Amino acid sequence: MVEWQRATLDEIEPMPWKNGGGQTRQLVAWPQDTEEWTVRVSIADVEQDGPFSSFDGIRRWFTVLAGDGVRLYDEMDICVGDKLYEFDGGLAPSCTLLGEKVQDFNVMYRESDGGELKVSNAQAINSLYAIDARWVGFFTVDGGSLNINGIDSMSVPPMTLVWAENVSVELTFSSYGSHAAYWMLLE
């Protein structure tokens, strides 16, 4: 039987950024018992303009969950409802708020791991087939029901990440709302 783990945003203490521009809540850094994580998922509150932190060798996915949005590289606006923006974490783009503070969703993957992390919008693709996956994760803004192999169902509260490791599983998600939800699959 697969052991699913869970992290809900409200249960995690925020940590301030080194540059003072906001705070973050780390939902998971996997594997959890090592210094060098392979996958890291977090939610950040961006309170002022400034550059992203540089993470050499890290692939990143980023989107805005709440607020007016941000402008990256002085040219690209990312707002609530936009698709995930994927980029090289070593680039550390400039980030300008388009209004008041925003809350964003971040996924990081250490590329030296040798596998491939796929991150996709679960509103567009409501099923995920994970065959011999090293790690599979699911995050939802509104909450919903996660159906596992067409047999079991798991309720997922709003602003929650669930994940499991070393699985072969078929997952289907039914949302309680219309906001974003994301699949993460490490093969």
53-67, pLDDT tens digit by residue?
889 999 999 999 999
When divided into structural domains, the chain yields a total of 2
Residues 90 and 150 in one domain: no
Domain end (from 66, 82, 112): 112
What is residue 112's three-state secondary structure?
A: helix
Residues 58 and 89 in one domain: yes
Please report the pLDDT score of residue 124 as a whole number.
Answer: 67
Residues 105 and 17 in one domain: yes
Summarize the confidence of residues 126-152 as an average pLDDT: 90
Domain end (from 91, 112, 133): 112
Q: How confident is the model at residue 22 (pLDDT cuts 50, 70, 90)?
A: confident
Residues 108 and 83 in one domain: yes
**Quick check: 139 pLDDT over 90?**
yes
Summarize the confidence of residues 112-136 as an average pLDDT: 86
Residues 79 and 27 in one domain: yes
**Quick check: 78 pLDDT over 70?**
yes
Residue of 54, 51, 58 whose CA lies nearest to 36: 58
Residues 106 and 32 in one domain: yes
Please report the pLDDT score of residue 1 as a whole number.
Answer: 66
Residue of 129, 170, 126 whose CA lies nearest to 144: 126
Residues 26 and 94 in one domain: yes
Residue of 109, 7, 9, 117 whose CA lies nearest to 65: 9
Please report the pLDDT score of residue 140 as a whole number.
Answer: 94
pTM of the model: 0.93
**Quick check: 149 pLDDT over 80?**
yes
Decide: residue 186, CB within 10 A, 0-12 exposed, 13-18 middle, 19+ buried. Answer: buried
Q: 153 - beta bridge partners? A: 147
Please report the pLDDT score of residue 125 as a whole number.
Answer: 72
Between CA 84 and CA 122 the distance in angstroms is 11
More confident residue, 20 or 118: 118
- CB-based contacts of 155, cutoff 8 Å, min separation 6: 143, 144, 145, 146
Residue 154 lies in domain: 117-186
